A = this chain, B = another copy of it.
Amino acid sequence: MESFGDRLTEAMERKSSCVVAGLDPRTDALPDEFRARAGRSRADAAQAVLDFNLHVLDAVAPHCVAVKPQSAFYEALGWEGVRAYGETVRAARERGLLVIGDVKRGDIGSTAEAYAEGHLDLFDCDSVTVNPYLGADGIAPFLKRARAGKGVFVLVKTSNPSSVELQDLDCGGGPVYERVAALVHAWGESSVGRSGYSAAGAVVGATFPDAAARLRGLMPRAVFLVPGYGAQGATARDCRPCFDARGRGAVVNSSRGILFAYGKSGGVGWAEAVRDAARKMQEELETVRRA
């Protein structure tokens, strides 16, 4: 079996990159030409988002291992937006990119199975983000698809300020997120591939590097999906604890920092600005993870 962890590790080696470009297309931040079209109707907005994404995918594909479309920004445009989401996933895979559907779903039994059908089978994402609050019932249907090379990233320690309210509660000598880490490690045991990484990854924010270092030890088989780089304040160096000793085991996301690198209005050279931002992030992180 080739696990999702194997597929991601192999892509990182082949492309010399651990960069994930987040596709969070806020319509009011699109380059002028797309924003003007987006203002006409919801269907036009969804089409403008899709056209924008296709240009972005062409620009970033050489420098990224994966893209991470954020479902919320597509759902905000109704079913037309969800159609654009599906087309974006398909276009990314056609360009050889792995796709992490950022959906943070979490529900029980047969409902989680329906989410897995929708997002891993029908939309055909390679993996999705999932929420651990309901326990194993909510994760198992996704991991059933590990044999098909699919995976999940379970929220463990997120990058936002209020993540401390629940995730950092002390429960018997350690925070909740370390107990979740132990669950993730157990959930991944049956899908460890030849790379040493499983189908059960973890979301670990770069904004808390000390926590990341401990979590790396607690989840040796989990690839980390690392938010917080760039716009949220974390540097490439802050991401170092997320990698293993060989510089593997983590991919780092940037959304606004890549997608809207052209600034306010866009203009003729906007796609080059996007490409340059992805390349610069790739170079910074390669230096850090190979050190």
Interface residues of A (CB under 8 A from B): 24, 26, 70, 72-73, 75-83, 85-86, 104-112, 114-115, 117-119, 122-123, 131-138, 155, 158-167, 169-172, 176, 179-180, 183
Contacts and interface: CB of A to CB of B under 8 A. Distances in A.
Given A104-B107, A160-B137, A179 B169 contact: yes
A44 to B, nearest CB: 15
Given A104-B105, A135-B167, 20 more contacts: A26-B110, A26-B114, A72-B105, A72-B107, A72-B118, A75-B82, A75-B119, A78-B122, A78-B123, A79-B83, A79-B86, A133-B166, A134-B160, A134-B162, A134-B163, A134-B166, A135-B162, A135-B166, A166-B183, A169-B172
A79 B81 CA distance: 8
B164 A111 contact: no
Contacts of A111: 24, 70, 72-73
A118 B83 contact: no
B133 A167 contact: yes
Contacts of A114: 26, 70, 72-73, 75-76
Contacts of A77: 118, 122
B135 A160 contact: yes
Contact of A115 (B24, B76, B107, B117): B76
The 7 closest A-B pairs by CB, nearest first: A135-B162, A135-B165, A72-B114, A79-B83, A75-B118, A171-B171, A108-B160
Contacts of A109: 160
Contact of A172 (B73, B159, B170): B170
A166 B180 contact: yes
B169 A115 contact: no
Contacts of A137: 160-163
Contacts of A158: 108, 133-134
A6 to B, nearest CB: 27
A272 to B, nearest CB: 26
A131 B106 CA distance: 8
Nearest to A119: B75
Contacts of A70: 107, 111, 114
A135 B106 contact: no
A107 B130 CA distance: 11
Given A73-B114, A155-B133, A158-B134, A169 B176 contact: yes
